[in-house]
C-alpha cells in the first residue's frame, strides 16, 4: 500500500473555492475542524483544514486503490 503522502496537497486559492461543492463539516480526533467538499470538475473529495487553511484532494483512483487494499473485494 502506498503512503497517503503520495497524494496531492492543494494550494489555497479563490478559484479553488469556486470549484468546490460543500458536503459537511466535522471535527477530527484531535478536535480540529475540517470541511469536506467535492471538486466540481473531477468529483474527487477534497478536505479543508480550518486550522491551517490548506486543502487536500484524494483522487478516485487512489480511493479505489485504498479500498482494494482494505479488502473491499473480499467476500469474507
Q: Specify whether the CB–CB gap between 64 and 54 falls below 8 A.
A: no
In a domain, 75, yes or no: no
In a domain, 39, yes or no: yes
In a domain, 20, yes or no: yes
Cite the DSSP H helix spans in the chain.
14-19, 60-69
Convert the pLDDT of each residue in 2-20 to its tens digit: 444 445 555 555 566 678 9
Q: What is the pLDDT of residue 31?
A: 95
In a domain, 57, yes or no: yes
Q: Which of 13-17, 45-49, 63-67 has the lowest mean pLDDT?
A: 13-17
Q: Specify whether the CB–CB gap between 62 and 7 falls below 8 A.
A: yes
Q: How many domains is the chain partitioned into structurally?
A: 1
Convert the pLDDT of each residue in 16-44 to its tens digit: 667 899 999 999 999 999 999 999 988 99
Cα torsion 55, 43, 25, 10 to 10°: value is 0
In which domain, by residue range, is 10 found?
4-62
Q: What is the pLDDT of residue 1?
A: 36
Amino acid at each position: 500500500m502506498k503512503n497517503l503522502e503520495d497524494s496531492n496537497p492543494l494550494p489555497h486559492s479563490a478559484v479553488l473555492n469556486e470549484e468546490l461543492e460543500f458536503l459537511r463539516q466535522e471535527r477530527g480526533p484531535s478536535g480540529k475542524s475540517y470541511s469536506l467538499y467535492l471538486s466540481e470538475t473531477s468529483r474527487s473529495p477534497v478536505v479543508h483544514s480550518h486550522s491551517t487553511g490548506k486543502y487536500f484532494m484524494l483522487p478516485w483512483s487512489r480511493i479505489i486503490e485504498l479500498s482494494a487494499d482494505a479488502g473491499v473485494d473480499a467476500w469474507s
